[in-house]
Homo-oligomer: A and B are copies of this chain.
Amino acid sequence: MTQELFASYSFLLDRTARKVKHYAQQQFKFGKFDVTVDQWLVLKNLAERPQVSQTELANLVLKDHPTLTRIIDLLSKKGLVQRVQHPQDRRSFQLHLTAKGEKKVASLKPRILEIREKAWENLTESDFHEFKRILNTIYQNLDTHNGI
Protein backbone atom coordinates (compact mmCIF):
# COMPACT_ATOMS: atom_id res chain seq x y z
CA MET A 1 0.00 0.00 0.00
CA THR A 2 1.20 3.48 -0.73
CA GLN A 3 1.81 5.75 2.20
CA GLU A 4 -0.48 8.57 1.17
CA LEU A 5 -3.41 6.25 0.65
CA PHE A 6 -3.82 5.24 4.25
CA ALA A 7 -2.23 8.18 5.99
CA SER A 8 -5.67 9.30 7.13
CA TYR A 9 -6.69 6.18 9.05
CA SER A 10 -5.51 7.42 12.43
CA PHE A 11 -7.53 10.59 12.06
CA LEU A 12 -10.68 8.70 11.01
CA LEU A 13 -10.22 6.20 13.79
CA ASP A 14 -9.74 8.86 16.41
CA ARG A 15 -12.64 11.01 15.30
CA THR A 16 -14.99 8.02 15.13
CA ALA A 17 -13.98 6.76 18.56
CA ARG A 18 -14.58 10.22 19.99
CA LYS A 19 -17.93 10.49 18.21
CA VAL A 20 -19.04 7.14 19.60
CA LYS A 21 -18.05 8.11 23.12
CA HIS A 22 -19.58 11.54 22.81
CA TYR A 23 -22.86 10.21 21.43
CA ALA A 24 -23.15 7.71 24.25
CA GLN A 25 -22.25 10.34 26.83
CA GLN A 26 -25.00 12.63 25.50
CA GLN A 27 -27.53 9.83 25.75
CA PHE A 28 -26.34 9.05 29.27
CA LYS A 29 -26.90 12.69 30.12
CA PHE A 30 -30.39 12.90 28.63
CA GLY A 31 -31.32 9.65 30.38
CA LYS A 32 -29.90 10.97 33.67
CA PHE A 33 -27.76 7.84 34.04
CA ASP A 34 -25.48 9.79 36.36
CA VAL A 35 -22.31 7.96 35.30
CA THR A 36 -19.77 8.60 32.55
CA VAL A 37 -19.13 6.17 29.72
CA ASP A 38 -15.85 5.05 31.29
CA GLN A 39 -17.44 4.66 34.70
CA TRP A 40 -20.09 2.47 33.06
CA LEU A 41 -17.41 0.24 31.52
CA VAL A 42 -15.94 -0.28 34.98
CA LEU A 43 -19.33 -0.94 36.59
CA LYS A 44 -20.28 -3.47 33.91
CA ASN A 45 -17.06 -5.42 34.28
CA LEU A 46 -17.37 -5.37 38.04
CA ALA A 47 -20.87 -6.81 37.79
CA GLU A 48 -19.54 -9.69 35.72
CA ARG A 49 -16.47 -10.31 37.86
CA PRO A 50 -17.16 -9.53 41.50
CA GLN A 51 -14.30 -9.41 44.01
CA VAL A 52 -11.56 -8.57 41.50
CA SER A 53 -8.59 -6.48 42.56
CA GLN A 54 -7.87 -3.11 41.00
CA THR A 55 -5.01 -4.59 39.02
CA GLU A 56 -7.20 -7.32 37.57
CA LEU A 57 -9.92 -4.82 36.77
CA ALA A 58 -7.45 -2.46 35.14
CA ASN A 59 -6.44 -5.28 32.79
CA LEU A 60 -10.05 -6.12 32.01
CA VAL A 61 -10.98 -2.59 31.01
CA LEU A 62 -7.54 -1.70 29.61
CA LYS A 63 -7.02 1.36 31.71
CA ASP A 64 -3.85 2.13 33.57
CA HIS A 65 -3.74 1.95 37.34
CA PRO A 66 -3.85 5.65 38.18
CA THR A 67 -6.85 6.09 35.88
CA LEU A 68 -8.65 3.17 37.46
CA THR A 69 -7.88 4.41 40.97
CA ARG A 70 -9.58 7.69 40.12
CA ILE A 71 -12.60 6.06 38.49
CA ILE A 72 -13.07 3.83 41.53
CA ASP A 73 -12.76 6.91 43.75
CA LEU A 74 -15.60 8.56 41.84
CA LEU A 75 -17.77 5.43 41.79
CA SER A 76 -17.28 4.91 45.49
CA LYS A 77 -18.09 8.57 46.18
CA LYS A 78 -21.35 7.91 44.32
CA GLY A 79 -21.96 4.87 46.53
CA LEU A 80 -21.91 2.39 43.65
CA VAL A 81 -18.70 0.51 44.48
CA GLN A 82 -16.83 -0.45 47.63
CA ARG A 83 -13.21 -1.27 48.30
CA VAL A 84 -12.79 -4.14 50.78
CA GLN A 85 -9.41 -5.11 52.21
CA HIS A 86 -8.11 -8.36 50.79
CA PRO A 87 -8.06 -10.87 53.66
CA GLN A 88 -4.52 -12.12 52.94
CA ASP A 89 -2.86 -9.22 51.16
CA ARG A 90 -3.08 -5.85 52.85
CA ARG A 91 -1.82 -4.04 49.77
CA SER A 92 -4.81 -5.10 47.77
CA PHE A 93 -8.56 -4.47 47.63
CA GLN A 94 -11.42 -6.63 46.55
CA LEU A 95 -13.87 -4.46 44.66
CA HIS A 96 -17.56 -5.07 44.66
CA LEU A 97 -20.75 -3.32 43.69
CA THR A 98 -22.97 -2.02 46.44
CA ALA A 99 -26.69 -2.79 46.34
CA LYS A 100 -27.14 0.59 44.69
CA GLY A 101 -24.44 -0.33 42.18
CA GLU A 102 -26.15 -3.63 41.33
CA LYS A 103 -29.43 -1.82 40.80
CA LYS A 104 -27.74 0.75 38.59
CA VAL A 105 -26.17 -1.90 36.36
CA ALA A 106 -29.41 -3.86 36.04
CA SER A 107 -31.41 -0.80 35.08
CA LEU A 108 -28.90 0.71 32.66
CA LYS A 109 -27.74 -2.38 30.82
CA PRO A 110 -30.67 -2.75 28.38
CA ARG A 111 -30.85 0.99 27.75
CA ILE A 112 -27.17 1.13 26.89
CA LEU A 113 -27.42 -1.79 24.47
CA GLU A 114 -30.07 0.22 22.64
CA ILE A 115 -27.84 3.29 22.52
CA ARG A 116 -24.98 1.21 21.15
CA GLU A 117 -27.20 -0.19 18.40
CA LYS A 118 -27.63 3.18 16.70
CA ALA A 119 -24.07 3.13 15.33
CA TRP A 120 -24.80 0.07 13.19
CA GLU A 121 -27.66 1.35 11.10
CA ASN A 122 -27.00 0.76 7.40
CA LEU A 123 -24.33 -1.82 8.22
CA THR A 124 -24.48 -5.60 8.05
CA GLU A 125 -23.38 -8.36 10.33
CA SER A 126 -20.53 -9.13 7.96
CA ASP A 127 -19.43 -5.48 8.16
CA PHE A 128 -19.25 -5.94 11.90
CA HIS A 129 -17.00 -9.00 11.59
CA GLU A 130 -14.74 -7.26 9.09
CA PHE A 131 -14.52 -4.25 11.35
CA LYS A 132 -13.59 -6.38 14.34
CA ARG A 133 -10.98 -8.28 12.35
CA ILE A 134 -9.32 -5.12 11.07
CA LEU A 135 -9.36 -3.39 14.46
CA ASN A 136 -7.82 -6.43 16.11
CA THR A 137 -5.16 -6.75 13.44
CA ILE A 138 -4.17 -3.12 13.85
CA TYR A 139 -4.09 -3.55 17.61
CA GLN A 140 -1.79 -6.54 17.35
CA ASN A 141 0.45 -4.90 14.76
CA LEU A 142 1.18 -2.13 17.24
CA ASP A 143 1.27 -4.19 20.41
CA THR A 144 4.83 -4.54 21.60
CA HIS A 145 3.82 -7.15 24.16
CA ASN A 146 2.62 -9.61 21.54
CA GLY A 147 5.55 -11.95 21.97
CA ILE A 148 6.85 -11.60 18.42
Interface residues of A (CB under 8 A from B): 1, 3-24, 41, 62, 113-114, 116-125, 127-128, 130-132, 134-139, 141-143
Contact = CB atoms under 8 A, between A and B. Distances in A.
Nearest to A132: B12
Contact of A142 (B6, B113, B118, B142): B118
A128 B17 contact: no
Copies of this subunit: 2
Contacts of A6: 116-117, 120, 128
Contacts of A119: 9-10, 138, 141-142
B14 A20 contact: yes
Given A6-B116, A6-B120, A7-B116, 13 more contacts: A1-B124, A4-B113, A6-B128, A10-B21, A12-B139, A15-B62, A18-B62, A20-B142, A119-B141, A122-B141, A123-B138, A127-B130, A130-B131
Select the residue from A62, A114, A135 with max chain B CB neighbours within 10 A.
A135
